[in-house]
Structure 1
Amino acid sequence: MAATGTARTAVDSVMAQLSALEDPKMRAVNERHGDDYGVNLSRLRAVAKELKTQHTLSVQLWQSGDTAARLLALLICRPKSFEQDELDAMLRESRSPKVQDWLVNYVVKKSPHAEELRLRWLSDPDPVAASAGWALTSERVSKSPEGVDLSELLDAIEVDMRDAPDRLQWAMNTCLAQIGIAHPEFRNRAIGIGERLEVLKDYPTPPNCTSPYAPIWIAEIVRRQAGE
């Protein structure tokens, strides 16, 4: 019972710390993008740095259901300690875009189950799960493409990307761009698909930033890599 009480005290202490960092104005901005938290992420990372890796605490923070607590949990967890089904359940129960992004990028990509989850999620009817599958596929495309059928991926993108929900569309578009950037033999086809579908062609892009429109994105990164 003493250990349980100590653990509860640790969770309560961290939750109080996160509550003290809450900024209503920041929450209002984040809520416009579908996220329900108001903690500055730099400050959240500072809390994580103080706590260091504490997997048990991270699980307890995740179970709170609070978005800021879940973001913190993903920073202090031990990715290799999660089972495949645990990670699948975590993705499906988290509806915050920021939590989903961090879960995939900070935890799943470091998990021994990453490839199994990529294949499991890639054709999932849930667009959140499917977008995670495409995000993991982009990682494979750019870093370890062996065994990945790039032509088949381009077929799927060509058929499904235009009408996909926003989050899934963005993930597929990223994969399209990564194929064009990393694989010269598929570059013209990737650019052609982007030009025909025109996905994100008119996306507002700040000065000095690269457009997410795949043909421009591909051309710009290839130019940089060539040292022009």
Structure 2
Amino acid sequence: MAQTTETTGTTTTAAQVLAELAALEDPKARAINEKHGDDHGVNLGKLRAIAKRLKSQQELARELWATGDTAARLVALLMFRPKSFTAEELDTMLRQAHIPKVNDWLVNYVVKKGPHAEELRNAWFTDPDPVVAAAGWALTSERIVKAPAGLDLPGLLDIIEAQMKSAPDRLQWAMNFALAQIGIENPELRARALEIGERLEVLKDYPTPPNCTSPYAPLWINEMVSRQAK
């Protein structure tokens, strides 16, 4: 179905958006993206510009998502209205979104901004699919920072201590992020968070560019705490 833009009165179809994205395909961008598990070759700045022009068009965005094309799905995620989805729809979408960038944007731009974030956090947190569980941990990290009341933070540290070392990469990354946030935000738990990070050594040797903070939890915690003290 063609969608009409509010500003111009012209119509844009999913096929036209796909053609525009195909014209923007850059082999160098694809090579870089593929190193991170993302199978598209469109510069993200240009992709964002398309979404900004199209604005919030829910039906067109749904059509773009349904194509399964990664670049089209990224555009769709920038166009979606987060409150327009049911929890069941978002669960289905997450299980379709195993491309890292699509998964990240779905969680951060749609799920976190919608009314079902806590319901889905609880549903995904212990899911047997590690990619789905990672999304649950990402939502948990959001709560650790913004709304920690009611969370069993020592219990979360117990789980991290027992499971993070052997977790698949994406889930391990999400658990490590939660570990760091617990240590940063909670002085009374900081020593334990640091001890867990030091003993497990997860991401200790992760290559980190100059002037960037290492994702290794002990370094990350200490760096963020020192910045807060300034």
Cα distance in 1 for partners of 2:15, 2:61 equals 13
Which amino acid is the alignment partner of residue 161 of structure 1?
A: M
Q: Deviations over 1:119-148 (max 9, x none)?
A: 100000000000000000000001100111
Q: Residue in 1 aligned with 2:199?
A: 196
Whole-Å Cα distance in 2 between the matches of residues 213 and 9 of structure 1?
A: 45
Structure 2 match to 1:136: 139
Instruction: State the match for 2:172 in structure 1.
Output: 169
Q: CA deviation at 1:16?
A: 1.0
Q: Give the aligned partner of residue 147 of structure 1.
A: 150
Q: Offset at 1:9?
A: 5.7
Query: Normalising by the residue count of structure 2, what TM-score does the alignment of the two structures yield?
Result: 0.95
Q: Distance in 1 between matches of 2:151 and 2:12?
A: 47
Whether 1:115 and 2:118 are equivalent positions in the alignment is yes
Distance in 1 (alpha carbons) for counterparts of 2:30 and 2:109 = 23
The unaligned stretches of length 5 or more in structure 2 are 4-10
Give the count of matched residue pairs. Answer: 223
Q: Secondary structure at the match of 1:42?
A: helix
The separation in 1 between residues aligned to 2:84 and 2:142, in whole angstroms, is: 21
Q: Distance in 1 between matches of 2:120 and 2:155?
A: 19
**Runs (4+) of structure 1 moved beyond 4 Å?**
none
1:29 Cα offset (Å): 2.0
Q: Kindly tell me: are residues 220 and 56 of structure 1, through their superposed partners in 2, closer, same or farther at Cα, counting changes over 3 Å?
A: same
TM value normalised by structure 1 = 0.96
- The aligned counterpart of 1:158 is 161
Q: Which residue of structure 2 lines up, in the alignment, with residue 36 of structure 1?
A: 39
| Alpha-carbon distance in structure 2 between the residues aligned to 1:43 and 1:9 | 17
How large is the RMSD of aligned CA atoms in angstroms?
Answer: 1.1
Letter in 2 for 1:167: R
Secondary structure at the aligned position of 1:86 is classed as helix
**2:49 paired with 1:46:** yes
